């Protein structure tokens, strides 16, 4: 996993999975620029404060990011215990807005890695809806579509992780064919991060107990970071449009 000479931008870098990816990427020689709404809690090569829920704030913050970006990790996100509009803006619309704005700064061979979830595994059941949302061309257009087709509050986290998987798959083809930029995603299961408790509240005790019987334990954040760094590296130069489960076998157990 050689990242020497690469500049990697990581959202959600101040904690959790994003923080562990930042540590590991720097260990492998990358120059890491963190992006978060909270101040950084680890050593970085640069940091930009950004609110992914606000497209104007994103556009203003982008001017402080490097002119060339070899990798982008979209690790920032909020749990489904917050309002569905916030989940939509941060976990999908803002993520997409930032990514598209940075594409012109990415050279051939660059890589984008999105963080989805095993909770997005039922995306085929709503494929038509997710494709319609993916076809919207801007933050505003996406918001208007969602206003007309609102996601249920109780399952909004799952819904937008499904939507992110579909967008990743749809957009990855044109990015690779037209720009030689690779886009993939990883789908973690439960992870020991600061928002793990929110997921317990969101899913309910019955679902948590059922999933607990299928796994050894929640993952540690550094166990998610390794596969992400692999996808950023040139070793993954022919991996395009994949959604890699990193869940200790939970998805397989449901088969």
pLDDT per residue as tens, the chain (255 positions): 589 999 999 999 999 999 999 999 999 999 999 999 999 999 999 999 999 999 999 999 999 999 999 999 999 999 999 999 999 999 999 999 999 999 999 999 999 999 999 999 999 999 999 999 999 999 999 999 999 999 999 999 999 999 999 999 999 999 999 999 999 999 998 888 876 676 677 767 777 678 778 888 888 999 999 999 999 999 999 999 999 999 998 888 877
For 140, the token pair is 């505003």
Q: Does 71 reside within a domain?
A: yes
Q: Does 252 reside within a domain?
A: no
Q: Does 251 reside within a domain?
A: no
DSSP strands (E only) in 98-175:
111-115
Q: Does 188 reside within a domain?
A: yes
Q: What is the CATH number of the domain that holds 16?
A: 3.40.50.720
Q: Does 100 reside within a domain?
A: yes
Q: What is the pTM of this model?
A: 0.94
Q: Does 22 reside within a domain?
A: yes
By residue range, what is the domain housing residue 230?
A: 7-245
**12: Cβ–Cβ under 8 A, 6 or more apart, which residues?**
18, 19, 35, 36, 74, 75, 76, 77, 115
Burial 60-80 (b: 16+ CB within 10 A, else e): ebbeebbeebbbbbbbbbbbb
Q: Does 180 reside within a domain?
A: yes
Cβ pair 221, 246 in contact under 8 A: no
Cβ pair 111, 232 in contact under 8 A: yes
- Count: domains in the chain: 1
Q: Find, among 131, 36, 154, the residue nearest to 90 by Cα.
A: 36
Q: Does 23 reside within a domain?
A: yes
Active site residues: 157
Distance CA 139, CA 176 (A): 22
């Amino acid at each position: 996993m050689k990242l020497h000479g690469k500049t990697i931008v990581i959202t959600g870098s101040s904690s959790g999975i994003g923080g562990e990816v930042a540590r590991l990427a720097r260990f492998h020689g990358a120059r890491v620029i963190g992006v978060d709404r909270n101040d950084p809690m680890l050593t970085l090569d640069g940091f930009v404060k950004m609110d992914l829920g606000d497209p104007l704030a994103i556009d203003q913050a982008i001017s402080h990011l490097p002119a060339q970006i070899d990798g982008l990790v979209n690790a920032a996100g909020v749990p489904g215990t917050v309002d569905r509009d916030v989940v939509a803006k941060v976990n999908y619309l803002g993520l997409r807005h930032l990514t598209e704005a940075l594409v012109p700064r990415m050279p051939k061979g660059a890589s984008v890695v999105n963080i989805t979830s095993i909770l997005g595994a039922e995306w085929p059941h709503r494929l038509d809806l997710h494709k319609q949302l993916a076809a919207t061309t801007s933050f505003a257009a996406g918001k208007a579509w969602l206003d007309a087709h609102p996601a249920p509050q109780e399952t909004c986290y799952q819904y937008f992780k499904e939507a992110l998987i579909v967008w990743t798959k749809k957009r990855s083809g044109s990015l690779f064919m037209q720009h030689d930029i690779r886009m993939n995603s990883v789908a973690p299961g439960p992870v020991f991060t600061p928002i793990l408790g929110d997921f317990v509240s969101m899913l309910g005790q019955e679902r948590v107990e059922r999933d607990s019987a299928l796994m050894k334990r929640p993952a540690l954040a550094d166990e998610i970071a390794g596969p992400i760094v692999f996808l950023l590296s040139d070793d993954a130069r022919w991996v395009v449009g994949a959604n890699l489960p990193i869940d200790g076998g939970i998805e397989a157990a449901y088969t």
